[in-house]
Structure 1
Amino acid sequence: MKLATLLTSTLAVAAIASPVANVVEERGDLAAANTLVKRYSKIPLGPMYKPGPSLLSATESTFSTPSQSLSAAQFTNVMRAQCDRVSRCQSFSGYKQGNNWHGALYKRVARAGDFVSDPTASDAFAYACVGC
């Protein structure tokens, strides 16, 4: 690659990245000023449960990842971190099915009755934000 081409490419990337970096910094400052520490209470579930139809309309976002890459505790921590950063998140859950972890954030406080038994699910967990 020619030096001039490399320099032009670098400047183009820097020009594109700069406004994004400023927005992130501004959001970070704003978020830091308004951050509330969320506390969670574990929702009692058996290991073979997953979200039921009543949670579909309250789902904020979903996540999936290969189960070989994360333990149950690690995936729980990932979901907790996602809920912490999403202001509308009031509860989260996850379960393993086949070779994948599946998780979701919810816009309302989930209850044990919102989950259904599924023999193909394992290692289920769910937490609700206390005082959200």
Structure 2
Amino acid sequence: MNKMIVAASALVLAAVTSVPALAEGNLASRATELELNINTVDLAFSQTEFQVETGKYYILHITGDGEEEIQVVAPELWRNSWINQVVVNDLETTPYGLYGIEFDDEGTFSIGFVPIRPGEYDIYVPGYETRGLRGKFVVK
């Protein structure tokens, strides 16, 4: 009889702890804002590491100084995130996928996203990544 009670208790415990967690409400209404300013004169990112969590909504504001035409890429981060929208000058687009963004002049891109898969993902300017224009996202 004791074995049967233990087995039944184990089944109940397994059923209770295996209930999936569900998001409540609108994730986008509770966005965490992140800033990345790019200085192409001094070849520096304002921040080189971002700590983010899966399942949370972020808006990354990337600002280029306009001193040089550059592309900023983070293909693995975007491939492992849900992209809600990209905003430039109050114009929004909802991309199916994203590889990078390009600055032809000074300005800011705002990218709304939810990281899905944990890992470390690079963000960089191709050709300048070994000279200072590189950072990473640590997704937990």
TM-score by length of 1: 0.27
From the two aligned structures, give the one with the greater strand fraction: 2
Higher RCO (C-alpha under 8 Å, 6+ residues apart): 1
Larger Rg: 2
